[in-house]
Amino acid sequence: LLYAAMGDEIDLSAVAHDAWAKGKTVAYPRCLNKTGHMAFFVVDTPERLVEGSFSIPEPSEDCLPWQPTADALCIVPALAVDAFGNRLGYGKGYYDRFLTDFEGVSACAVYHCGIAESLPADEYDVPVANMITADGVRTAAVIEQVGVKEAHAVIDDAAYASEETGWDAADEYDA
């Protein structure tokens, strides 16, 4: 489960292309209403993403609903995250509502500079179990998470980051 990046969120299109090449199911969220509910729909090509709510690309109406599995990996957008997995995003709560019933592995993709010691969190905020950065995977929970290292390998592709975004991991991290 991926997201279509907006603003300063990490672009996961390389993760989607890698997953499609490996024959994996890729799903993106679609806002169901303005009250904060969303569902994921299977997307088999980037052309199946169309402008949706809040001008964020969403699965087209002909995409099939994603069927939940216990081994699913949901990569959540975040502008910042703390050591406990509390995220700072755009504040609508869509992912908090979704993660409440999600039984798979949750992770957020965040720039290294977006990891904070502590962030404010309310009782309805749902933390993620893992944080994926260009320099590694950090675990907020004490349990082993399956699937996160594979996603990290794609996100950590410095050639992709440099070519597509102008950001060069070598400028920030020791190789």
Predicted confidence at residue 23, as pLDDT, reads 93
Q: What are the pLDDT digits (tens) for 3-61? A: 999 888 999 999 999 999 999 999 999 998 777 889 999 999 999 999 987 888 999 99
CA distance 152 to 154: 5
Residue 124 neighbours by CB under 8 Å, 6+ apart: 93, 96
Rg of the Cα atoms in the chain: 15
With a cut of 70, say whether residue 149 has pLDDT above it.
no
Distances (CA, A) of 118 to 87, 121, 140: 10, 9, 12
Q: Which residues of 17-36 are buried (b: 16+ CB within 10 A; e: fewer)?
A: ebbeeeeeebbbbbbeeeee
Predicted confidence at residue 168, as pLDDT, reads 37
Closest CA relative to residue 167, chosen from 51, 4, 14: 14
Mean pLDDT within 137-148:
54
Q: What are the pLDDT digits (tens) for 63-111? A: 999 999 989 999 999 999 998 899 998 878 899 999 999 999 999 999 9
pLDDT higher for 29 or 160?
A: 29
β-bridge partners, 88:
80
- Total-model pTM: 0.78
Determine the length of the chain: 175
Predicted confidence at residue 156, as pLDDT, reads 44
